């Protein structure tokens, strides 16, 4: 009988931990993925202006977090018709990951909903 009580206690502890940890994780992950999406949108727009030097001024804020991913992807995917499509690919991938994790039907969102509905 003590094992059942201990298992029930550890389940309650796990639920309490989920209720404390998941909301900030959900928020931070959602904000980071949204910020990255915005940065890749800027990169897509900046491909229309090749004269902009991304190593100068405020453009470094856009280039530093995105360029490592884009450089690695450019090795795999060549420009199509002279157009670099790698920012579009990453925008799609990040949007997909954001929806799968923190979207309305995302995994973390669903766990948060289930944890808030369960009794303490």
What does the pLDDT look like over 6-56, one tens digit per residue?
544 576 788 788 888 889 999 999 999 999 999 999 999 988 888 888 888
pLDDT in tens, 73-101: 999 998 888 888 999 999 999 999 999 99
pLDDT of residue 4: 41
The answer to the question of residue 14 being in a domain is: no
The answer to the question of residue 12 being in a domain is: no
pLDDT of residue 120: 61
Domains contained in the chain, number: 1
pLDDT of residue 9: 56
pLDDT of residue 1: 45
120 with 12: CB under 8 angstroms?
yes
> With 0-12 CB in 10 A as exposed, 13-18 as middle and 19+ as buried, what is 107?
exposed
The answer to the question of residue 6 being in a domain is: no
DSSP 21-88: HHHHHHHHHHHHHHHHHHHHHHHHHHTT-TT--TTSTTHHHHHHHHHHHHHHHHHHS--BTTB--HHH
Which of 54-68, 81-95, 105-119 has the weakest average pLDDT?
A: 105-119
The answer to the question of residue 106 being in a domain is: yes
Tokens of 113: 């909903």
Find the domain containing 68 and state its range. Answer: 27-111
The answer to the question of residue 16 being in a domain is: no
The answer to the question of residue 51 being in a domain is: yes
What is the pTM (predicted TM-score) of this model?
Answer: 0.79
pLDDT of residue 107: 94
Question: What span, in angstroms and rounded, lies between the C-alpha atoms of 44 and 79?
Answer: 13
The answer to the question of residue 17 being in a domain is: no
Distances 54 to 38, 45, 90 between C-alpha atoms, Å: 16, 12, 18
36 with 96: CB under 8 angstroms?
no
pLDDT of residue 7: 47
The answer to the question of residue 117 being in a domain is: no
pLDDT of residue 33: 96
């Amino acid at each position: 009988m003590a094992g059942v009580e201990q298992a029930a206690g550890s389940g309650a502890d796990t639920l309490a931990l989920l209720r404390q940890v998941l909301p900030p994780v959900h928020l931070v992950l959602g904000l980071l993925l949204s910020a990255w999406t915005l940065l890749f949108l800027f990169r897509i727009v900046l491909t229309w202006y090749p004269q902009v030097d991304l190593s100068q001024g405020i453009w470094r804020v856009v280039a530093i977090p995105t360029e490592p991913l884009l450089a690695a992807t450019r090795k795999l995917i060549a420009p199509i018709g002279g157009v670099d499509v790698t920012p579009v690919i990453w925008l799609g991938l990040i949007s997909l990951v954001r929806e799968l994790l923190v979207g309305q039907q995302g995994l973390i969102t669903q766990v948060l909903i289930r944890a808030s509905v369960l009794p303490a």
